[in-house]
Amino acid sequence: MTITGPTTGDLREQRDRARREYDELLTRGLSFNLTRGKPSTAQLDLSQELLELPGAEGHTAADGSDCRNYGGLHGLPELREIFAELLQVPAGQLLAAGNSSLELMHDCLVHAMLGRLPGGQARWTDEERVAFLCPVPGYDRHFALCERFGIEMISVPMTDEGPDMDAVERLVAEDPAIKGIWCVPKYSNPTGVSYSDRVVERLAAMPAAAPDFRIFWDNAYAVHHLTDEEVEVADVLAACAEHGHPDRAFVFGSTSKITFAGAGVGFFGSSPANVDWLLAHSSKRSIGPDKVNQLRHVRFLRDAEGVRAHMRRQRALLQPKFEAVQRILDKELGGTGLARWTEPEGGYFITLDILGGGAADVVRLAAQAGIALTPAGAPYPYGKDPRDETIRIAPSYPSPQDLEEAVTGLAICARLVGYERALAR
């Protein structure tokens, strides 16, 4: 079968049309922000009750302790109970901490740099080389942590069921400097991919040259469904234990995109040995987390079913925005051959791939038109997208109308860049 491509004349016509549309865009003085996965005001309003909780007489935990006072380094048992089920971590092995899971990931790296991990032979600062596998595209803040601590980043490609496990297995088996891998197992940032059971199995089972190899399992979107297909990812702690690697996985989660993005609760779950290790280090740092905020969350969310019900209300606000992005991209870019994009079933992002490159140009043009996007390259180590293809769209924060205008504008930029490049070839 032969496919006839567009003629140069066709391309020029398309380019000119995109140019006119872009020029018109410039006149409109837009100011939109699609950069970060920030909840919208309407989403935050869903948790408004938190602002008055736990209430005047409500400072006592289930065990009778006073949440206002010092102590309780593990976090509030009743909150850990609620999230144990949702994060697939036994409550006894789950810690509830401060207002972000990123902090916990940072601190796990710090404690591994400055103190030996269970199974490890040296502090990472005393190793000649420390490297992490980075499935790409991935989450820029993970990569920023590696960069900050001088941890070498080795990219591995994402497939539609998780990282390319042939590459992962080979690298981890042969290189003892590889101490970890970043994973966002469900509705991955930014691709929306969820890990298949087979991938989780292989991650748990694979031999690792480093005795202190860790999976940083950032389950940021554990309950953040966008469709009725509520994806379940296999239980990584159980799988690791089953395969004789009980200390392999660090599980992270938070309520940042459940309740308040800035005033939620972060969680860490792992094997008893890893939990003891983290507690031993964090006991030097803190006398305990903000248990009043944890109690506030217990009063508001009540139980795991309460969280699920709350997330259905979140979905009702988010799903139409994701659908709008799909609709606009279909309309503006469908059939052009210039781009492809993900249709995630959950999480916070859509990735738009500019085929054949030019993502940085698209982001630059969009910025000039007042549409702020995450820098092209951000989802790659050191901010360098080797194909210059990936653009991350975060649809949550803008109002539906703003989102529509912003994505339309972005698509115009993609067309303009795409046709310019096609003509230049």
Using CB under 8 A, list all residues that contact a second copy. 36, 38-39, 41, 44, 47-59, 66-72, 98-100, 102-103, 106-107, 110, 113-115, 125, 141, 144-145, 148-149, 256, 260-263, 281, 284-293
Q: Is 203 left (phi over 0), alpha (psi -120 to 50) or beta?
A: alpha
**CB closer to a second copy out of 39 and 395:** 39
**CB closer to a second copy out of 318 and 339:** 318
The total of other beta-carbon atoms located within 10 Å of residue 31's CB is: 11
Cα distance between residue 136 and residue 175, in whole Å: 19
**CB closer to a second copy out of 130 and 171:** 130
| Least gap, CB of 147 to a second copy (angstroms) | 8
Best CA proximity match to 198, nearest among 223, 234, 225: 234
Do 216 and 141 meet the contact criterion of CB atoms below 8 Å apart? no
Best CA proximity match to 168, nearest among 130, 127, 200, 142: 200
Do 243 and 205 meet the contact criterion of CB atoms below 8 Å apart? yes
**CB closer to a second copy out of 49 and 166:** 49
Single-letter amino acid code for the residue at 297: H
**CB closer to a second copy out of 207 and 262:** 262
**CB closer to a second copy out of 36 and 243:** 36
CA torsion sign, 382 to 385 to 388 to 391? Answer: negative
| Least gap, CB of 394 to a second copy (angstroms) | 11
Cα distance between residue 160 and residue 139, in whole Å: 16
Do 157 and 164 meet the contact criterion of CB atoms below 8 Å apart? yes
Residue 143, token pair as written in the block = 């990569």
DSSP per-residue letters across 131-147: EEEEEES--HHHHHHHH
**CB closer to a second copy out of 163 and 190:** 190
Give per-residue burial for 387-403: e unless 16+ CB within 10 Å, then b. ebbbbbbbbbbbeeebb
275 in helix, strand or coil? Answer: helix
**CB closer to a second copy out of 99 and 271:** 99
End-to-end alpha carbon distance in the chain: 24
| Least gap, CB of 322 to a second copy (angstroms) | 20
| Least gap, CB of 54 to a second copy (angstroms) | 6
| Least gap, CB of 122 to a second copy (angstroms) | 13
| Least gap, CB of 403 to a second copy (angstroms) | 17
| Least gap, CB of 182 to a second copy (angstroms) | 14
Contact residues for 280 (Cβ-Cβ < 8 A; gap 6+): none
Do 269 and 82 meet the contact criterion of CB atoms below 8 Å apart? no
| Least gap, CB of 152 to a second copy (angstroms) | 16
| Least gap, CB of 283 to a second copy (angstroms) | 9
Single-letter amino acid code for the residue at 234: A
**CB closer to a second copy out of 86 and 113:** 113
